[in-house]
Amino acid sequence: MDGTRPHRTNPLLRASLKRPNILITGTPGTGKTTTARYIAGATGLEHVSVGDVAKEKECFEGRDVELDTNILDEEKLLDHLEIILADGGKVVDYHSCELFPERWFDLILVVRATNAVLFDRLSARGYSTRKREENLECEIMQVVLDEALESYEKEIVHEITSETEDDLQENAQRVKDWLIAGIESKRRRAWKNDRYFKLRC
């Protein structure tokens, strides 16, 4: 025995102690950005808006006029995100999740909203009737939740809501508890196996 602490010397173990990355996903208007910012503020993790990265790094191939949206250059975007997420400790928000490699995230929170709440939020945003209806249908059909459940281990996918200040505080507290549980156990599996969040719907 040379007294060296194993996790300091074994690169595999050291890598496994990397801080986790969290993905906050959901239909536009459900409250991803608000939730991600709040959790970042409460935990010290860094908020990464995928939409902002796409804009800053110009990851677009053109514009889909019919759908009133930019056409993403996914490969370019993923190259930039890979670098940003490499060290862990990020709270990422995006309205889709299947394009990301599974290994990037340790926790996936799918923000859900009722029809009435989403209708009001998307109307306030000035979305066209068509765009608003498409997003409402997407939420009713739980498209993003199903995408998340198909793309990641079910154990790390959890639904949350973001309608009130209490929701923000409660969700942030759950993430804090989850982070602390992982740090104390010093094992990556602790992040994976955490079942603190319960599916609410």
Q: Which residues bind ligand DAT (CB under 6 A)?
A: 26, 28-34, 121, 162-165, 167-168
The answer to whether 88 is annotated as binding is no
Dist. CA 89–CA 38, nearest whole Å:
15
DSSP per-residue letters across 96-143: --TTS-GGG-SEEEEEE--HHHHHHHHHHTT--HHHHHHHHHHHHTTH
Whose Cβ is closer to ligand DAT: residue 77's or residue 168's? 168
Minimum CB distance to ligand DAT, residue 165 (Å): 6
Minimum CB distance to ligand DAT, residue 170 (Å): 10
Whose Cβ is closer to ligand DAT: residue 4's or residue 164's? 164
Q: Which residues pair with 71 in a beta bridge?
A: 62
Whose Cβ is closer to ligand DAT: residue 21's or residue 161's? 161
Q: Which pair of tokens denotes residue 178?
A: 């989850």
Dist. CA 88–CA 193, nearest whole Å:
18
The answer to whether 31 is annotated as binding is yes
Minimum CB distance to ligand DAT, residue 78 (Å): 20
Owner of token pair 């250059």: 73
Question: Binding site for ATP: residue ranges?
Answer: 29, 31-34, 125
